[in-house]
Amino acid sequence: MLLVRRFCAQTPVMLSFSRAAASVLAFAALTVFSLHAGGQSPAASPAAPGAQPPANQAVQAPCPPGPDMDIPITSTIEAKVSGTLDSAHLKPGKQIWVNVVDGLVFPGCTLNAGAALYGHVTAAASEKNTDSSELSLVFDHADCEGHGKKAMPLWLIGILGPQDQQSKAHDAVPLGLHGQARSISAAVAATSNVDDSLNPGGPPKTVHPGIVIGLPGSKLEIQGGPGCSTRISSTRSSVQLFTGSELIFVVQSK
């Protein structure tokens, strides 16, 4: 009888503890359910080294090898700007074009003088109160003879500002007679002097990739823009390529 009474006396205590434990477990389960219902989740553990990025995170593919060696002028395409390209008035996606100065023949494409090279803007930035601006471009189509707007990936490797903005370019031979367009190829071929403006300190009759002439404070990065596009930056409030500016291209090798 004594044992029975002791057991009965302890039973309410055990039942009371079990009810308390059940309440705690029920509250914890309700809290976890509420967090998930509200869109919250426990903090993710740090990603292991070498782990793949999330599927929704954009990753830019590596850029193909760009031109990094001196290029013979005869292998380049020279094109002139008509109108003004100004980073203050351009937006990504804007279509642009320039016109070939001298006719050239490439495998699968004959470019006549005046043929258009087409491109588009990938980035543009301009601020009135800063000394930094940029304009990034891609040129990838051309009006080949008999094949208008044919795919033709190009590297933009050099820029020449308008003649009145240049101080050194081609001093030995005047470029442009009687209002005609300049021709760097013809100018170099017509003189025995070493024209080093397109490749200072380098071999004659070559272009050094990234050369900029006649645009003080400007810089050309062949793959510096979004999607491996060419980036032109300036210490001025906007990047401006005025009428008469010339762009120097080479065809991208496959």
Is the pLDDT confidence value at 99 over 80? yes
95 and 3 assigned to the same domain: no
49-69 pLDDT, tens digit per residue, is: 555 555 555 566 788 788 889
- Residues 183 and 163: beta-carbon distance below 8 Å: no
The band of 182, judged by pLDDT with boundaries at 50, 70 and 90, is very low
107 and 7 assigned to the same domain: no
210-224 pLDDT, tens digit per residue, is: 999 999 999 999 999
Q: How far is C-alpha 29 from the chain's CA centre?
A: 51
The band of 163, judged by pLDDT with boundaries at 50, 70 and 90, is confident
The Cα 163–Cα 169 span in angstroms is 8
pLDDT at position 209: 95
Average pLDDT of the chain, as a whole number? 75
> Could you tell me if residue 132 is left (phi over 0), alpha (psi between -120 and 50 degrees) or otherwise beta?
beta
106 and 224 assigned to the same domain: yes
77 and 4 assigned to the same domain: no
**Total structural domains within the chain:** 2
CA dihedral 125, 127, 132, 138 (to 10 degrees): 20
12 and 77 assigned to the same domain: no
Q: What is the CA radius of gyration of the chain?
A: 33
Predicted model pTM: 0.67
Q: Which of 197, 207, 188 is nearest to 77 (CA)?
A: 207
* Domain enclosing residue 20, as ranges: 1-32
At which residue do the structure tokens 């003649």 appear? 163
The Cα 112–Cα 104 span in angstroms is 6
Residue 49 forms part of a structural domain: no
